[in-house]
Amino acid sequence: MTTSMKPGLRIRLLLAMLPLMLAATSCLAREVSITILYTGDTHGHIIPFSYPDVKTPGQFYSDMKYITDIGGIARRATLASRIRKEVHDDMLFVDAGDVMDGTPFSVEYSGSADILAMNAAGYDIMTVGNHEFNTSKAIFTRNCALPTFPVVCANVVDRSTGKLALPANKIFDVDGVKIAVFGLTIPSPTYPAAKEGYDYLDPIATAKQQAADLRKKADIVIALTHLGIESDKKLADAVPDIDVIIGGHSHTRIPVPIIIKHLNDSRASGIGGAIVVHDYQWAGELGRLDLKVDGERGHFALESYKGTLIPVTSDIPEDPVTAKVVDRFYAPIKSKYEAKLGTATEAFLNNDKGDNPIMNLVCDGFREAAHTDLAFNNYGGTRADILKGSVIMWDLASVLPFDNKLFEFKVTGKNLKALLARIRPGVSGARYKVENRTLIEATIAGKPIDDDATYTGITTDYLLNIMTRYVTDVKPSKVAYRDSVADYIKSKGTISPALDGRREVNTSSFE
């Protein structure tokens, strides 16, 4: 015999069971989507900029879809805000360091303009790059206190206390998923703030300790690094507890995320390795990495990903709050840096190895102002291109963004030959050829260098530190680092890039 349950009783039983059913459902696997927006090596580029309209082999910007009137942190803020709404705030906005040193904003404000604009733009976390140390310890400390978001780095130690200078990491809760982010930076003991008071721990040894500890506390472990792409690959291979590496320093453009596979990876992740992303430089594009994690009972594992670089173009309106911060810093310096110096007939393309027309221009400016036989500058001392057309003081300050001083010296011909072979500087007043660290030929004013003669020269304080053993009679120059080149361009009126073969270097190693 069967009996039927009354409808009212059935409903009451179902209602009574509902909490148990919901609890059971919550224990089942659940998928969560998380978006990471990232930048790195912005180097003071908080207003829009352009690259030269010249396709240059080996330059990452040649592969970008848009290279004119791109970037700007107020546009970036709008784009980030749109994406944050799109993903219902399941997002982190991060930076991999070197926010300063590259434009007049850094020259005038030493990082504060960049960081306060980042506050307005809605960043969640950053690490420090080597250029954050290219100032005094006091300013470094100030800059690390300015952000309204965490600044993390696990391998920088304050020499005066023996403790970490910054928090090592931060754990975020994004829709129930615990995401740990720890910072690493490249050891840079020669930078001013580091000389004053900071030491560095080995990045990979530090990462092993950080990742192993954070793996116990978090579902996803992210290394926010300023080490360079090759070091990031080694890091991914050496530390299997890292899920994602968001890197900087090498100015590498990775349009699609790469994966460094971990053989015999026993973790629950379906990726089987570490995702590595870099956003090139200056934030002309905004990096986006979308992660999907699956989990049950509150434990999640990374299962899939996709990523892209989003152009920051002129059709993206500026966020008014961020734009106001930028204008607060730009308005007082605008007239100074928009002053016209001259006209470039073609683009001057900067490079860090070969014959460099910008390096030639800078060294010629130093030498003419000092009336010396020679002028030297280090490769890496010039930091930007000069575009075809009007050349303004902003362009020159971007080419020479550091607060270097110039020094004059004397050098014997014999020591000059040794210097050229070892240091291989940018030069004015001389021509030379080096093959495999051997000086093949060298002339001054068209004549072979005389070993017994003494020559006069001028160079930067940075390069002088490397040249000290070769030179004598060193004294501070009355010639101004940036203004000497500005005056040189003004005196010419019209300038043209000269690849005149004054420096021919064939070697696999550059200092």
Whether 326 and 356 share a structural domain: no
For 277, the domain range is 30-330
pLDDT of residue 436: 87
Q: Among 12-16, 79-83, 311-315, 463-467, whose mean pLDDT is lowest?
A: 12-16
In a domain, 1, yes or no: no
How do residues 64-109 score in pLDDT, each as one tens digit? Answer: 999 999 999 999 999 999 999 999 999 999 999 999 999 999 999 9
Distance, first Cα to last Cα, the chain: 95
Q: Say yes or no: 101 and 143 in one domain.
A: yes
92 assigned to some structural domain: yes
Band the pLDDT of 297: cuts 50, 70, 90: low
Of 94-98, 135-139, 250-254, 266-270, the one with minimum mean pLDDT is: 266-270
- Per-position DSSP letters for 215-237, written without gaps between them: HTT-SEEEEEEES-HHHHHHHHH
Phi, psi of 484 (to 5 degrees): -65, -40
pTM of this structure: 0.91
**Does the pLDDT value for residue 6 go beyond 70?**
no
| Residue 471: predicted pLDDT | 98
Residue 55, domain member (yes or no): yes
Q: Are residues 310 and 345 in the same domain?
A: no
Tokens of 289: 């990495």
| Last-in-domain residue among 308, 330, 352 | 330
Q: What is the mean pLDDT of the chain?
A: 92
What's the alpha-carbon Rg for the chain, to the nearest Å? 27
Report pLDDT digits (tens) over 333-377. 999 999 999 999 999 999 877 789 999 999 999 999 999 999 999
- Please tell me the distance from the alpha carbon of residue 293 to that of residue 348, in angstroms, as a whole number: 47
In this structure, what token pair is assigned to residue 478?
């009355």
Same domain, 295 and 204: yes
Same domain for 306 and 415, yes or no, is no
Cα(482)–Cα(273) distance, rounded to whole angstroms? 47
pLDDT at 18: 55
Among 330, 346, 380, the domain-final residue is 330
Q: Are residues 372 and 321 in the same domain?
A: no
> What is the per-residue pLDDT for 23?
47
- The 10s digit of each residue's pLDDT in 394-423 is 999 999 999 999 999 999 999 999 999 999
Q: Which residue has the tokens 């404000």?
A: 109
Q: Are residues 342 and 319 in the same domain?
A: no
- Left if phi > 0, otherwise alpha if psi is -120 to 50, otherwise beta: which for 297? left
Dist CA 257 CA 287 (whole Å): 10
Q: How many separate domains does the chain show?
A: 2
**434 HSE (CA, 13 A, CB side):** 22
HEC profile for 309-338? Answer: EEECCCCCCCCHHHHHHHHHHHCCCHHHHC
Tokens in use for 505? 């270097």
Q: Is 199 contained in some domain?
A: yes
Give a yes or no: residue 16 inside a domain: no
Q: What percent of the chain has pLDDT over 90?
A: 85
CATH number at residue 111: 3.60.21.10
> Residues 6 or more apart from 128 whose CB is under 8 A from it?
97, 144, 151, 153, 156, 166, 183, 185, 226
DSSP 387: -
pLDDT at 268: 40
Residue 510 predicted with pLDDT over 50: no
Residue 412 resides in a domain: yes
pLDDT in tens, 136-183: 999 999 999 999 999 999 999 999 999 999 999 999 999 999 999 999
Q: What is the pLDDT of residue 133?
A: 98
Whether 439 and 362 map to the same domain: the answer is: yes
Please tell me whether residues 324 and 350 are part of one structural domain: no
* Mean local confidence (pLDDT), 191-201: 97
In this predicted structure, which of 14-23, 224-233, 294-303 has the lowest mean pLDDT? 14-23
Spatial separation of the C-alpha atoms in residues 80 and 93, rounded to whole Å: 8
Instruction: Identify whether 13 is part of a domain.
Output: no
What is residue 352's predicted lDDT score, i.e. its pLDDT? 76
pLDDT, average across residues 462-482: 97
Percent of the chain with pLDDT over 70: 91
- Whether residues 297 and 367 share a domain: the answer is no
Identify the CATH number of the domain in which residue 475 sits.
Answer: 3.90.780.10
**Per-residue pLDDT tens for 115-138?**
999 999 999 999 999 999 999 999
Q: Strand order in 438-444's β-sheet?
A: 447-448, 438-444, 430-435, 503-506
Strand partners, 173: 178
C-alpha 181: how far from chain center:
18
Whole-angstrom CA distances from 126 to 75, 79, 247, 309, 490 are 19, 18, 11, 19, 40
Q: 24 or 333: which carries more pLDDT confidence?
A: 333
Specify if 17 maps to a domain. no
Q: Is 89 left (phi over 0), alpha (psi -120 to 50) or beta?
A: left
* Domain final residue pick, 330, 363, 393: 330
Distance CA 51, CA 398 (A): 13
Q: Which pLDDT value is given to residue 256?
A: 97
pLDDT band at 17 (very low <50, low <70, confident <90, very high): low
pLDDT band per the 50, 70, 90 thresholds, residue 24: very low
Pairing of strands 426-428, 406-412: unpaired
Claim to verify: residue 398 and residue 304 sit in the same structural domain? no
Please tell me whether residues 471 and 431 are part of one structural domain.
Answer: yes
Give me the pLDDT at residue 439, please: 96
Any alpha helices (H) in 319-473, and if so which ranges? 320-330, 334-337, 357-370, 393-399, 413-423, 461-467
Which of 6 and 391 is assigned the larger pLDDT? 391
Residue 296 scores a pLDDT above 80: no
